[in-house]
Amino acid sequence: MDEFEAIMQEKERLLRKYHCKTINEVIRILQLILAENNKKAESPM
């Protein structure tokens, strides 16, 4: 499974979990998650 598929699945999961939220809020949440993942990937443990 490539990263795009994983993101799409995560988006679907978030949409179900936060079905009361707007799409824009879900997108913002996803962007925050991606930013965090990028930070983790860049910083050596």
Q: What is the pLDDT of residues 5-27, one digit of tens each?
A: 998 898 888 778 766 567 788 78
- d(CA 18, CA 7) in angstroms, rounded, equals 16
Give the predicted TM-score (pTM) of the model.
0.42
From the number of C-beta atoms within 10 Å of its C-beta (0-12, 13-18, 19+), residue 20 rates as exposed
- d(CA 33, CA 27) in angstroms, rounded, equals 10
What residue type is 10 in one-letter code? Answer: E
Q: What are phi and psi of 21, to 5 degrees?
A: -85, 165
pLDDT value of position 5: 93
Q: What are phi and psi of 34, to 5 degrees?
A: -65, -40
